[in-house]
Chain A
Amino acid sequence: NAGVTQTPKFQVLKTGQSMTLQCAQDMNHEYMSWYRQDPGMGLRLIHYSVGAGITDQGEVPNGYNVSRSTTEDFPLRLLSAAPSQTSVYFCASSPRLAGDEQFFGPGTRLTVL
């Protein structure tokens, strides 16, 4: 199993550009989530999904969209990038919501100029 994969590893955008961060998992997990990690702020949940076709907002959803058309894929879209979105983004998956380990991808380091 590849686990959770994320592409790209690094990305530089200009303010106002849009892009999609890709996330895929091959473990047939129901739950997938996107976090951003900023110095001194820990991990903050952006969006999450409890299954194909079902998504919900986390604590910092503004400026991001998600969709979940398949169990495997959970892309994160930046609609109009802003410097405040400079961060490291992690995708995670787990079999269900409570008590199960979350498996993390290697992260995408995004810089918005």
Chain B
Amino acid sequence: AQSVTQLGSHVSVSEGALVLLRCNYSSSVPPYLFWYVQYPNQGLQLLLKYTSAATLVKGINGFEAEFKKSETSFHLTKPSAHMSDAAEYFCAVSPAGNNRKLIWGLGTSLAVNP
């Protein structure tokens, strides 16, 4: 069965520091990959997605992610954290093929300290 693993349910960084949120997936074929962000008391919104074009994907708010097939990873990074980045981040996979429902990771809560 397909699965998504987000390493670290809580990540804390200082303002201005590098943000690295990890996501690994299991899939026998190259999937579609997504990162969503959820700000407090809001719905989810798309940060970025990988759909088999460039392996380095740039998203909104300065975030980017790199698809590494050999490592089955799609880690999210941002060079310099801002206080407004504090949120819950979800990685999701849409496996290629007939069954295309999104498979979600459990989420990583990012805290940004002043």
Contacts and interface: CB of A to CB of B under 8 A. Distances in A.
Interface in A83-98: 90, 92, 97-98
A104 interface: yes
B27 to A, nearest CB: 13
Given A41-B106, A97-B94, A98-B96, A106 B101 contact: no
B90 interface: yes
Given A97-B94, A99-B94, A43 B43 contact: no
Contacts of A107: 41-43
Contacts, number: 47
B11 to A, nearest CB: 15
Nearest to A94: B102
Instruction: Tell me the dominant secondary structure on chain B's binding face.
Output: loop
Given A42-B90, A98-B96, A106 B43 contact: yes
B51 to A, nearest CB: 5
Interface string B80-114: 00000000001000101000111011110000000
Interface residues on A, range: 20 to 34
Interface residues on B, range: 20 to 34
A64 B101 CA distance: 19
Interface of A: 4, 33, 40-45, 48, 58, 90, 92, 97-99, 101-102, 104-107
